[in-house]
Each structure stands twice: as structure tokens, then as C-alpha cells.
Amino acid sequence: MRNIEKDMIEMKRKREKILEAAFRLFSDTSIDAVSMNAVAAASEIGVATIYRYFKTKPDLVTEVAVTRWRCLRRNTSTAEIKRTFPA
């Protein structure tokens, strides 16, 4: 595998690790109570690296929400979603 491909795989792995750690922390306490330093510690990824992936905490929060929504959509039928969130 070429170095670029390895780098891309590693970047994706780090991003997923950050999102998982942030989701766990946000779920355990509250979004306001969680710092980027706490996400760094929980993900075992440096805070500077986290800021390379997510420029601000609101960016991270948004991406956690979008990622979780996509996961929910994959695991829920369209009919169930329409019943839960009628137009």
C-alpha cells in the first residue's frame, strides 16, 4: 500500500476515534461540560490534532450529531422515521 493510502486510512481512524470519544463524553455529561482537552484525553489523540480535524467545538458537536443521525438512518426504516418525525 502506498504511503498516501496509509495516511488516509490513519486519518480516517483518528477522526472516527475522536468522534466516538466525543459522543461518549457528550452522552455521559453534557456538551457544555466537555472540553476539547477532555476529548483529546478520551480519544488518546493530541488536542492540536483534534483541532486539525475540527476547527471549533461547535464543528465537532455538529459532526457528532450528523454522524449519529446517519447511523440512525441506516438502522431505521423510512416508515419508522416518518412516524417519528412527521412532516
CATH value at residue 71 = 1.10.357.10
- Asked if residue 79 has pLDDT above 70, the reply is no
- Asked if residue 77 has pLDDT above 70, the reply is no
pLDDT of residue 86: 64
Cell 488516509: give the residue: 8
Cα(first)–Cα(last) distance of the chain, in Å? 47
* 31 Cβ contact list (under 8 Å, min separation 6): 61
pLDDT-based confidence at 69, cuts 50/70/90? confident
Give the other-Cβ count within 10 Å of 25's Cβ.
Answer: 20
- Structural domain boundaries, residue 13: 3-84
**How many domains does the structure of the chain reveal?**
1
